[in-house]
């Protein structure tokens, strides 16, 4: 699966449990976007009244998926509660699983060690979710194999289930120089409270390549797909817009947005100006960034962060534009696909 070594992922556990990780961008933008994706996914699942939502969280890490389902995010109410949820999280890393068990002790949730490429725990699930881009740890062909296995499980056990796939976006401004490549060595230098920088070869997707992987898996599994949607998350706020590890030419957008969201009054809005990248991307991606930049730059021009309240309002306006503008092209830090998987004989 080309994960970094399990020993190294002890530092990943430190990051995922660090309070610093949940900065304003994460709580006000990223979690809100993911919450809405999961809300849409759940709305597509037919359930009898009173029957629990059955969820398999693939690559669960320390249990972010459970929190996304059962906690409030901004003004958004929890999607479910523990009494109407049967949750099983699986992850290849024992340290992550041990941490998830400790963090969620006493809750109606189970966490087990399992490799998504091999046999997953048996079960009949309504929703197969992922968050934190676990599929990007796999080569592209392995992604198709894993998706094939999940879809085959669905068509063998039920009429319909929903799949949420989370991957790294190929055309994020965080790594513009890497756009010609689809798999490369990824530096996880954004980890909080870690004692080392982790590296792993990761796979990157745009809308076309992720859709192709889903379609190929469906063909192999003899499944039918319907209602596929794609969502970009963190267009100008991904964690590497703070580290500048892969594209030092851009402003530190995430850092500046966090400062505004905290009410800092000494951020010059002009530092947030966005020059749309060109070259090494399909025409729809270039057109998207051009339109995105026009509105983004207009917002920062009219922004006035001279008081904490105005600084926060400017951050809120920029977060709102990120969510309104996204087209699911693979232009954010991560790209999420939501798809209904059905037996082909279903009317």
- Residue partners of 217: CB distance under 8 A and separation at least 6: 144, 145, 147, 148, 150, 151, 223
Q: Is the dihedral of CA 340, 56, 78, 190 positive or negative?
A: negative
Q: CA-CA distances (angstroms) from residue 256 to 4, 24, 190, 298, 308?
A: 31, 11, 15, 17, 14
289 in the same domain as 202: no
- DSSP state, residue 79: S
CATH of the domain at 211: 3.40.50.150
183 in the same domain as 251: no
Q: Is residue 274 part of a domain?
A: yes
Q: Is residue 114 part of a domain?
A: yes
**Tally of domains within the chain:** 2
38 in the same domain as 179: yes
Q: Is residue 347 part of a domain?
A: no
281 in the same domain as 316: yes
254 in the same domain as 175: no
274 in the same domain as 182: no
- Say which range, 48-52, 143-147, 178-182, 202-206, has the weakest mean pLDDT: 48-52
pLDDT of residue 197: 53
Alpha helix ranges (H) inside the chain: 9-16, 24-25, 31-43, 64-70, 94-103, 140-157, 207-221, 240-243, 253-261, 283-302, 308-325
104 in the same domain as 216: yes
Q: Is residue 2 part of a domain?
A: no
97 in the same domain as 167: yes
211 in the same domain as 67: yes
Cβ atoms of 112 and 88 within 8 Å: the answer is yes
Q: How far apart are CA 322 and CA 234, in angstroms?
A: 7
Q: Which helix (DSSP H) or strand (DSSP E) does residue 342 occupy?
A: strand 334-342
In the structure encoding, which two tokens stand for residue 305, read together? 């962060």
Range of the domain at 308: 240-325
Q: CA-CA distances (angstroms) from residue 48 to 45, 111, 160, 260, 271?
A: 10, 26, 14, 45, 52
Question: pTM of the entire structure?
Answer: 0.91
105 in the same domain as 78: yes
Q: Is residue 1 part of a domain?
A: no
- Say which range, 22-31, 108-117, 161-170, 189-198, has the weakest mean pLDDT: 189-198
Q: CA-CA distances (angstroms) from residue 164 to 132, 326, 330, 338?
A: 12, 17, 15, 5
216-250 pLDDT tens trace: 999 999 999 999 999 999 999 999 999 999 999 99
Q: Is residue 4 part of a domain?
A: no
Q: Is residue 3 part of a domain?
A: no
Q: Is residue 338 part of a domain?
A: yes
- Output phi, psi for 12, to 5 deg: -65, -40
251 in the same domain as 121: no
283 in the same domain as 157: no
pLDDT, average across residues 123-142: 95
Indicate the pLDDT class of residue 3, thresholds 50, 70 and 90.
very low
């Amino acid at each position: 699966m080309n994960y970094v070594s399990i020993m190294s992922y002890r530092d990943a556990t430190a990051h995922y449990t660090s309070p610093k990780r949940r900065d304003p961008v994460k709580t006000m933008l990223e979690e809100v976007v993911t919450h809405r994706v999961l809300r849409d996914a759940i709305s597509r699942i037919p359930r009898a009244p009173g029957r629990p939502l059955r969820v398999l969280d693939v690559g669960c890490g320390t249990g972010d998926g459970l929190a996304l389902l059962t906690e409030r995010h901004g003004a958004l109410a929890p999607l479910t509660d523990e009494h109407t949820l049967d949750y099983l999280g699986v992850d290849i890393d024992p340290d992550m699983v041990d941490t998830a068990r400790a963090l969620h002790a006493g809750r109606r949730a189970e966490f087990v060690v399992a490799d998504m490429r091999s046999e997953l725990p048996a079960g009949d699930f309504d929703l197969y979710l992922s968050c934190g881009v676990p599929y990007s740890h796999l080569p592209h062909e392995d992604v198709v194999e894993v998706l094939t296995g999940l879809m085959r499980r669905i068509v063998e056990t039920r009429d319909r289930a929903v799949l949420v796939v989370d991957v790294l976006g190929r055309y994020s401004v965080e790594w513009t120089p890497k756009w010609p490549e689809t798999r490369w060595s990824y530096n996880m230098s954004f980890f909080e409270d870690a004692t080392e920088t982790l590296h792993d070869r990761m796979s990157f997707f745009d809308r076309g390549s992720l859709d192709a992987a889903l379609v190929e898996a469906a063909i192999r599994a003899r499944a039918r797909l319907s209602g596929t949607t794609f969502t970009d998350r963190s267009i100008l706020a991904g964690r590497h817009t703070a580290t500048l590890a892969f594209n030092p030419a851009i402003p530190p957008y995430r850092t500046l947005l966090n400062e505004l969201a905290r009410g800092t009054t000494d951020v010059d809005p002009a530092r947030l100006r966005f020059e749309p990248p060109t070259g090494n991307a399909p025409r729809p991606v270039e057109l998207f960034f051009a339109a995105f930049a026009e509105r983004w730059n207009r917002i920062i021009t009219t922004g006035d962060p001279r008081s904490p309240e105005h600084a926060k309002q400017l951050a809120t306006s920029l977060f709102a534009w990120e969510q309104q503008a996204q087209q699911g092209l693979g232009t954010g830090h991560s790209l999420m696909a939501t798809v209904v998987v059905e037996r082909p004989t279903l009317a």
